[in-house]
Amino acid sequence: MATMFTSFTPSERKVHYPDDRRVYIGLKRPIWYVLAALLLVTLGTAWVQYLCWGLPPDPAATLSPAGSTATPGFPGWARFAHWANFFFLVIIIRSGLSILADHPRLYWNNGCTPHSEWIRFTPVKVPDDKVWTAKEDAWYISPVLGLPGYRHTVGIARSWHFLQVPFFLLNGAIFITLLFITDHWQRLVPASWQVIPDAWNIFVHYATFNMPIEPNGYYQYNALQQLAYFAVVFLFAPVAMVSGMAMSPAIENRFHWIPKLFGNRQGARSVHFLVMIGYVIFAVVHVGMVAFTGLARNMNHIVMGTDDPTDRSGLWIGIAIVLLTIAFGIVAHWISWRKPRLLQKAEAAVNGSLWKWTINKFKPKRYYTQKDISPYFWPNGKVPDSAAWRQLAANDFKDFTLKVGGLVENPVALSLEALKSLGKEQQITMHHCIQGWSGIAEWGGLPLQALIDIVKPGPTVTTVVFYSFGEGLYGGVYYDTHTLENCRKPSSILAWEMNYAPLTATYGAPLRLRVENQLGYKMVKWIERIEFVETHQTIGKGYGGKNEDDEYFDLLANT
């Protein structure tokens, strides 16, 4: 597949592309201890019970052949929701793996200090003897596993991911609504706490290779099945949704209690990953048991809504659905490489509009204090190599002049000292990188609102363009745009200070942008000039920024 659809431009070939793209899973030693303990507590306890006291009674033996009081079978809406859920989850998981590969490390701390990750999916250890940027650390994943796979951009993967999420949630909301306005809920929701010891008894049978009696799923589930289905619907999906929300800068900076549900923002990212693992384990076990306990009959249950062990219609239709999903994956890979702009526009039409009228309206609030500042802050982006920037840096930017113009009444050219004389705002905030890492730092600089008041934008201005001395990943002047509305929000500043010291070259000297309801790539470093314009569509390729132009990132980076 990779050789069939993938081709790199000369500029893409210059980007860090590791020769070693093998699947790698590096777990810290304490995690191995935790996993071993879980196995001992579950499988070990089951075997001790079996060897010492024999098999516990099988609760399924007392189930009535007539089934539960719920209407037998699977109504059409439940069958449709099941297969729609399968389709959406395949795309969400595969695109999620590509997103994870762009920063292939998971943490429980907000600072993401190298070597503090509890698991990594790259054989690369962050070197201690040189600057190692987050972009260099990005990995590649085979298109067999990830969507799109290989290509060095998280933008396309995010487009696939977020295009599916609204429909996945809508499908779930409709399913749960219909579940509770019919009696179908009785099949999934336990009626008493007895379900827990009954589920354990059934687990002991499975764990010791003594198959319990399998009830006819057309009528009812055993206790372990019921708990598993209940968890997938009422635990996995809500936790996936809330942990995803907790990674949004717009939400985290306004509702700090949401990431705290998981400990912190990186805890939410780790939990999000673990929920994905839970879905995969459930799917493997579920499909295995469906095949083992009567494939044709079980497929008729969920495809045709019938209970006929001799009919093969449900099996063939089910196989066709799976093959169509695989075929869509191949087409999706082709779209990712050949028509990525179409994908970017589709995602903007769906989620860009949704975010514009919802989370983009949130105003950031401050939560962090000096004790929260991260001991490490991942560097990212190419330090400018232009002669103009190097000359300014050699003189500590004493000769730097920020030009602010465009559609304004009062264009200005301000030295760094002149900017500092206009006022200073300090804040301690979390940086959210689109790649997944985060870091907390103090920033000091001029509120953008003060600059806006000085230059007085014209009535048609909606957009502010920030140009950098630096280059984009594939060359060309780096720039990004923000709505005038976002620039007016609290905590939107032109920073010349980081952690109570002047900005260094690595982190964006002489000036860098902070707009705290957006992801990090919107916060332009090494700022050269600022321009007020009517629309982002007249700048660059017209998509709102260098990463939006070349890597298909989101125009609004709220999540």
Work out the burial of residue 326: count CB atoms within 10 Å of its CB; fewer than 13 is exposed, 13-18 middle, 19 or more buried: exposed
Measured CA to CA in angstroms, residue 74 lies from 210, 235, 237, 284, 514 at distances of 29, 22, 21, 21, 52
Q: Can you read off the two tokens belonging to residue 533?
A: 């314009």
CATH match of 364-551 with 3.40.190.10: no
Contacts of 91 (CB under 8 A, 6+ apart): 147, 160, 161, 164, 328, 329, 332
Measured CA to CA in angstroms, residue 68 lies from 92, 186, 216, 222, 434 at distances of 34, 8, 11, 11, 48
What's the predicted TM-score (pTM) here? 0.93
Spell out the SS3 assignment of 114-164. Answer: CCCCCEECCCCCCCCCCCCCHHHHCCCCCCCCCCCCCCCCHHHHHHHHHHH
Parallel, antiparallel, or unpaired for β 477-483 and 401-406? Answer: unpaired
- Residue 136: its pLDDT value, please? 86
- Residue 1: its pLDDT value, please? 43
To the nearest 10°, the Cα dihedral for 398, 401, 402, 407? 170
Measured CA to CA in angstroms, residue 442 lies from 67, 248, 285, 368, 494 at distances of 62, 20, 48, 9, 13
CB 301 within 8 A of CB 73: yes
- Residue 6: its pLDDT value, please? 57
Query: What are the helix (H) ranges across 380-500?
Result: 387-394, 416-421, 448-455, 484-487
Residue type, 452: I
Q: If DSSP codes are grouped into helix, strand and coil, which group holds residue 545?
A: strand
Place of tokens 């793996």: 97
- Residue 165: its pLDDT value, please? 93
Q: Can you read off the two tokens belonging to residue 370?
A: 């000096």
- Residue 17: its pLDDT value, please? 60
Task: State the helix-helix crossing angle for 340-347 and 313-338, rounded to 10 degrees.
Answer: 110
Q: In the chain, where are the structural domains located?
A: 2-359, 364-551
Q: What is the CATH number of domain 2-359?
A: 1.20.950.20
Which H/E stretch holds residue 479?
strand 477-483
Q: Low-confidence residues of the chain, pLDDT below 70?
A: 1-21, 61-69, 151-152
| 2-359 and 364-551, same CATH topology | no
Q: Can you read off the two tokens belonging to residue 232?
A: 């997938």
4-10: long-range pairs with CB below 8 Å, 24+: 5/143, 5/333, 5/334, 5/337, 5/338, 6/143, 6/150, 6/151, 6/337, 7/337, 9/474
- Residue 67: its pLDDT value, please? 54
